[in-house]
Chains A and B, each alone.
Chain A
């Protein structure tokens, strides 16, 4: 059976599944239930500095987007960092680590942008026996208004400065958690690395308003008639997270920097995808908040089965395997030609492929053939865009297949050698043959 254990920055975990810093990791009670359920580690909900703790709203803290049958697709929250006393959290972390020595506890931290504040909190968390710290430069709501969270994460110079303070003031591994609410995710990652951070974790939540209540014209969740943007997470954000992780993984300046992947991870497959993009561990929140801690068993079994099937003995065997295949558009092979193929035995004749193609794409799928309802691809028109595959309700009914020979749409050979935009004659920047 595959070995799911991980060694991330020297922190050993029985499996790559950690709970992200969030409501599920706010208390010893929850965390011990998570460990009992099988989670390899937790990032304890973010601690603030000593003194009176922050307060949360007492109205709704979450909003959601639902799919069919109220399947939760996206969650938004406006909860702040822990609103429990620092001393209580520290004591519970210490006890929990004692009770579960082979599980990981990372302390998530968010204090004002002053070296003294970071130095003070680091000393305290070291005493708990925790395995590392994660600097919360991500939360986009509430704390950012006070110059913390994403207010730091959006300024690479601050990230570098605070990371450096932390590295200078503790021997614990330092992970910098990044906000996605920024134009180029590579910049804060580079800054974290410059500051000496051992790893980055991403993504934190995305600025969002889940809905507008059309009766009282207020954002949801609504607190006494008003709403504020929250942080969006859950399955809906996974594609954004994968892209950002890939940018850091393939950026020469940060390539090899350890990453803990976060963003909509719900099943083993999601986790495996993040690992394939180089993540050493993954962090989960929304899936646990939707279904409870027991879901980790599906993740453990699914990842293990996948690895056995593929012959991967350890996570390291496939970690980062997808990174070399993430490239820029300009390097994609323009001579790779595919056409949609509809399996007539599987087709249920709903016509969605036809109307999607007819109304919004390339008029490349029939509706009637000899007066009979029949859906077939017209190769002369098909650009291989994949929209029909995506809208077809039957799995594997429509597939994209590479063709050889002449592309009937362009009249050009489809099986020529690899050629991309950088050398394409239509590209004004492509090198030209010397004139005359």
Chain B
């Protein structure tokens, strides 16, 4: 395929099926049994281990690693699942380089942390491949019914823990499939082999959980009636809105939200049918920007640039994620704030940025200097927001802060018998592993409240 045919258009099939397969294969192939044993042996079994304290779900990491070293990978997996029922997905998508592995004493000592994420994956994969029974037993039926809104990591983590305690859970999910961002929001090369669906099905093995898809809060179901019909409600519907770009021409064809594109890409069965530009610019500085940029490059885009309005250090994507993007050929440019999107007949042709500068207090100011990049496709990855309409209808008003639901330490909202967790709560960190912990904490709180 010649360069001429590629340039200037958004088109599918830029690469051969073989190239696509290679580009979208597992980011990090699983460790072999021997590799896992050697890596596990590097763990010092620290006391009051920093890695455990850094894990939002508090997995007993030294213990599970020691179990791997002692040739008990399924026991290791059980240790992981005890704290984090999404252990398999978290092993793939956790930014371990800013969590457990960042504080590993071997990172401190020699810049080479124990590869905790890879070890977690080796244990959880082994469990799922070799054990058919669900690892947890459901307590006797309590007769209590709980509604969970959102079948993402927060909602399903909550549902699983509630089911374990013998409660009956109905999970309402707006999308056609459960999984939330694990299914719709993660780069394809981080979640190969349909792992998100496999994990959800495995999790449901506890029993007592029913998922109803295509049910959106505020449209098909309503908070007030859920609160009336169920013994308790957990809200874990994530962020439905995307932040708007204020630059001129933001509505041009070829300019779209990265989250939607990433979701479509994950749902496609044939990557050669996913259209991508030749010169792609991604605006943003988080994981979504990285996932969009890397996948655009993997689909065969000629030139992909991430433009972030602040400096490198302020980027919420970790150094490691930035490095992954850079090694895949993505240009990372900093201190560029979008000003105008150029279009010809409504099609994107480029984007002009204004260079920014940060003062000592990390306040951003425009310098007036402009930079224009040619582009035929622009992805906006400038953050998502919570759409409060769904929880404020019918007079069922929840306290919000910064546009997200306010909760206390036990993830209780301002409404009686309504809990919330995951990205939709104020202070949420937009991480799978944090959402899982929210769901777990809320479930324990609900269980305690129902038992009282």
- Chains A and B form a bound pair: yes
In the assembled complex, the CB of A262 is this many whole angstroms from the nearest CB of chain B, namely: 30
Chain B, residue nearest A356 (CB): B47
Interface 1/0s, chain B 294-316, versus A by CB < 8 A?
A: 00000000000000000000000
Known: A355-B47, A367-B47, A367-B48. Contact between A350 and B105, CB under 8 A? yes
B50 at the interface (CB under 8 A from A): yes
Tell me which of A68, A351, A367 contacts B41 (CB under 8 A).
Answer: A68
Docked-complex contact B48 and A352, CB < 8 angstroms: no
Q: Is B371 an interface residue (CB 8 A)?
A: no
- Could you tell me the distance in whole angstroms from the C-beta of A397 to the nearest C-beta in chain B? 10
Is A394 a contact of B109 with CB atoms below 8 Å? yes
**Which residue of A has the minimal Cβ distance to B107?**
A348
Give the one of B48, B106, B108 with max A CB within 10 A: B48
Interface residues contributed by chain B, number (CB under 8 Å)? 14
Q: Which residues of A contact B46 (CB under 8 A)?
A: 349-352
Shortest A123–chain B CB gap in Å is: 53
- B45 contacts partner chain A, Cβ-Cβ < 8 Å: yes
The reply on A91 being an interface residue by CB < 8 A is no
Contact indicator per residue, chain A 349-378, by CB within 8 Å of chain B (1) or not (0): 111101100000000000100000100000
Contact of A349 among B34, B41, B45, B50 (CB under 8 A): B50
Report yes or no: B38 in contact with A352, Cβ–Cβ below 8 A.
no
B contact residues around A354 at 8 Å (CB): 47
| Tally of contacts, chain A with chain B, CB under 8 A | 33
| A215 CB to nearest B CB, Å | 13
Within 8 Å by CB of B44, from A70, A373, A393, lies A393
> Any chain B CB within 8 A of the CB of A224?
no
Residues of B contacting A: mostly? helix
CA distance A394 to B109 in the complex (A): 9
A68/B38 in contact, CB under 8 A: yes
Q: Does A145 contact B (CB under 8 A)?
A: no
- What residues of B have a CB within 8 angstroms of the CB of A171 in the complex? none
Q: Is A436 an interface residue (CB 8 A)?
A: no
- Which residue on chain A has the smallest CB distance to residue B46? A350
Q: In the bound complex, do residue A349 and residue B105 qualify as a contact, i.e. CB atoms below 8 Å apart?
A: yes
* Assembly CA distance A353 to B48 (angstroms): 12
CA distance A352 to B48 in the complex (A): 10
Assess the A350–B38 pair: CB atoms within 8 A: no
B41 near A350 with CB under 8 A, answer no
Q: Count how many chain A residues have C-beta atoms less than 8 Å from C-beta atoms of the other chain.
A: 14
Rounded to whole Å, the gap between the CB of A349 and the closest CB of chain B is 6
Set of chain B residues within 8 Å of A352, measured between Cβ atoms: 44-47
A338 → B minimal CB distance (Å): 23
Query: Closest CB of chain A to B113's CB: distance in Å?
Result: 11
> Of B48, B106, B108, which one neighbours A351 at CB under 8 angstroms?
B48
Q: Which residues of B contact A351 (CB under 8 A)?
A: 46-49
Which among A70, A348, A367 has the highest number of chain B CB atoms within 10 Å?
Answer: A348
B 30-57 to A, binary, CB cutoff 8 A, 1 in contact else 0:
0000100010010011111110000000
Question: Closest Cβ of chain B: how far from A4's Cβ, in Å?
Answer: 36
Q: Is A114 an interface residue (CB 8 A)?
A: no
Residues of A within 8 A of B50 (CB): 349, 373
- Give every chain B residue within 8 A of A373 (Cβ-Cβ): 48, 50
Residues of B with C-beta under 8 A to A367: 47-48
| Complex Cα spacing A348 to B38, Å | 21
Nearest neighbor of B40 in chain A, beta-carbon distance: A68
CB of A349 within 8 A of CB of B108, answer yes
Interface string of A57-93 (1 = CB under 8 A from B): 0000000000011100000000000000000000000
For the complex, give the distance between the alpha carbons of A393 and B38 in Å. 16
**A69, B37: Cα distance in complex, Å:** 7
> What 0/1 pattern do residues 321 to 339 of A give for CB contact below 8 A with B?
0000000000000000000
Contact residues, A387-417 vs B (CB, 8 A): 393-394
Whole-angstrom distance between the Cβ of B112 and the nearest chain A Cβ: 12
> Which of the residues A69, A70, A348, A355 comes within 8 Å of B106, measured between beta carbons?
A348
Considering residues A348, A349, A350, A394, which has the most beta carbons from chain B within 10 angstroms of its beta carbon? A350
The docked-state distance in angstroms from the alpha carbon of A70 to that of B49 is 26
Chain B residues lying within 8 Å of A348, measured Cβ to Cβ, are 105-106, 108-109
List the A side residues contacting B106 at CB < 8 Å: 348
Specify the chain A residue showing the minimal Cβ separation from B43: A350
Closest to A353 in B: B47
Question: A378 CB to closest chain B CB, in angstroms?
Answer: 16
Please give me the residue from chain B that is nearest to A375 by CB atom: B47
Report Cα–Cα, A355/B48, bound state, in Å.
Answer: 9
Q: Identify which of residues 339-383 in chain B touch chain A, using a CB-to-CB cut-off of 8 Å.
A: none
Which residue of chain B has its CB nearest to the CB of A392?
Answer: B44
How many whole Å from A398's CB to the nearest CB in chain B? 14
Scan B11-41; emit 1 where CB is below 8 A from any A CB, else 0. 0000000000000000000000010001001
Q: Write the chain B residue with the least CB distance to A66.
A: B37
- Bound-state Cα–Cα, A117 to B203, Å: 75
Query: Is the Cβ of A69 less than 8 Å from the Cβ of B41?
Result: yes
Complex CA gap A349/B44 in Å reads 10
Q: Could you say which residues of chain A place their CB within 8 Å of the CB of B44?
A: 350, 352, 393
What per-residue 1/0 map shows which CB atoms of A296-313 lie under 8 Å from chain B? 000000000000000000
Closest to B34 in A: A70
Kindly list chain B residues whose C-beta atoms are within 8 Å of the C-beta of A355: 47
B-side contacts of A70, CB under 8 Å: 34
For the complex, give the distance between the alpha carbons of A367 and B48 in Å: 9
Please, which residues of chain A bring their CB within 8 A of the CB of B38?
A: 68-69
CA distance A201 to B257 in the complex (A): 80
Known: A69-B38, A348-B106, A352-B45. 10 other contacts (CB 8 A): A68-B38, A348-B108, A349-B105, A349-B108, A350-B46, A350-B47, A355-B47, A367-B47, A393-B44, A394-B109
5 closest cross-chain pairs (CB), A and B: A351-B47, A355-B47, A348-B109, A68-B41, A348-B105
